[in-house]
A = this chain, B = another copy of it.
Amino acid sequence: MAELSVMDKLVSLCKRRGFIFQSSEIYGGLGSVWDYGPLGVALKNNIKAAWWRAMVQAREDIEGLDAAILMHPEVWVASGHVAGFTDPLVDCRTCKGRFRADHLQGAACPRKPSKHPGEHTECDLTAARQFNLMFKTFMGPMEESAAVVYLRPETAQGIYVNYLNVLQSSRQKIPFGIAQIGKVFRNEITPGNFTFRTREFEQMEMQFFVTPGTDEEWFETWRGLRMEWHRSLGLAAEKLRWHQHGPEELAHYARAAYDIEYQFPFGWQEIEGIHNRTDFDLRRHQEHSGKKLEYFDQAANARYLPYIVETSVGADRVALTVLVDAYREETVAGETRVVLGFHPAVAPIKAAVLPLVKKDGMPERAQAVYQDVRRRWSAFYDDSGAIGRRYRRMDEAGTPFCITIDGETLSDGTVTLRDRDSMAQERVAADRVVEWLGSRIDG
């Protein structure tokens, strides 16, 4: 049997420990749609909360927003998505495969031996057609008379069309930002690589409105802040890099664009984009809606359309990056140990409490410690199986600390604190456990 790839092993671990399940698995699954299990939803919530904290709660110049997924269809005409949010698609008349014309070198023809589409003599590719990635549906009773509406492919437009409402109700002044977390949908031709590219995903986008002329400086500021944020999640610095969009790569709305890329097992890939969108979006919405979207700058006594610096990142993609970055296998005493070495800030469970045996009063002592710990952090109580197996389960769940109640606890009131990464064990008085954990979890 061929050795499993790291990604295959991660997919398997994610199912086993309840991070990520295939959607509708009992029905054979739905292509490239995934569900988050108990540990997965905790991980993703921790990531979203960290982003919201950094963007909205810690700053006075950014407001939160939660615009709906469904929007007026004219929004997507103005934004350029109806005309241009397309990928070029080719079909193979022979094998009936469907591929992105611009990704043929990354795809495999279903015929054997494995080659790229177009490389077998039998391959018969059609000319490329433009395929729009927006999902559409029908709103209002009766399909024939209903309005065609789209599932938004990005949250940004919800921010642009609401910007004056936010400005007026919050009494912010430029420069200020609006941040949003929410689901988006893209009917990708070739999704894949686990949760890296999926048809339904959650974006975390922030649009920062600035005076024209100050946009380049703000662009640099946001580049710095966003790279710092990814590092604060514990991602390895050497696996993060910048990719600057060249003139041919730049989207129609952008004057400058940098991606933060991460080195996945399947190559360097974008995890976040920082874009200088100029006044492109507000100008388009002003034209299409017929509503003035200018900002009146009291200090300068001037009216203008603000420029926008955007930071756009996928919550699912960050969760996958955190999982990939944390995954490691080690050989310990001749056995393989699988560890998710999460930073405590994102770990779904911060500490586990384990009575060595289910007798001699250990469960009672363990419960007391457990109740103390879970008042402050997400904690887990486990009293079943050999202690070694319980440690391994917590290693796989990415739990940074294990607290073991044993015979010594009964005699001297100390417990064993085990560090997931070093596996070092230390004895600490039971009534100092919270303090010990606090300095390591909350910094």
Contacts and interface: CB of A to CB of B under 8 A. Distances in A.
Interface of A: 15-18, 21, 23-31, 33-42, 44-45, 57, 60, 63-72, 74-75, 89, 98, 131, 135-142, 149, 151, 158, 161-162, 164-166, 169-171, 183, 185, 187, 189, 199-200, 285, 288-289, 291, 293, 378, 381, 384
Contact of A37 (B21, B27, B166, B171): B166
A139 to B, nearest CB: 7
User: Which 4 interchain pairs have the tightest Cβ spacing?
Assistant: A18-B169, A24-B72, A36-B66, A38-B63
A23 B68 contact: yes
A174 to B, nearest CB: 16
Given A44-B66, A65-B37, A151-B137, A169 B15 contact: yes
A183 B70 CA distance: 11
Contact of A65 (B35, B139, B384): B35
A397 to B, nearest CB: 10
A186 to B, nearest CB: 11
Contacts of A291: 26
A183 B183 CA distance: 9
A152 to B, nearest CB: 11
A358 B200 CA distance: 49
A189 B26 CA distance: 33
- State the number of copies, please: 2
Given A27-B72, A68-B34, A291-B26, A135 B135 contact: no
Contact of A42 (B64, B135, B140): B64
21 contacts: A15-B165, A15-B169, A21-B162, A23-B71, A24-B161, A27-B72, A27-B161, A27-B288, A30-B68, A30-B72, A35-B162, A36-B65, A37-B63, A37-B166, A38-B64, A38-B65, A38-B169, A69-B183, A136-B137, A139-B199, A140-B187
A161 B41 CA distance: 17
A45 B182 CA distance: 13
A289 B26 contact: yes
B26 A200 contact: no
Given A37-B165, A381-B60, A27 B289 contact: yes
Given A27-B161, A41-B64, A169-B38, A199 B70 contact: yes
Nearest to A149: B30
Given A30-B139, A37-B165, A151-B151, 19 more contacts: A15-B169, A17-B169, A21-B162, A23-B72, A25-B162, A27-B288, A27-B289, A30-B68, A30-B149, A31-B139, A33-B68, A35-B158, A37-B63, A41-B65, A41-B66, A60-B381, A131-B142, A135-B138, A137-B137
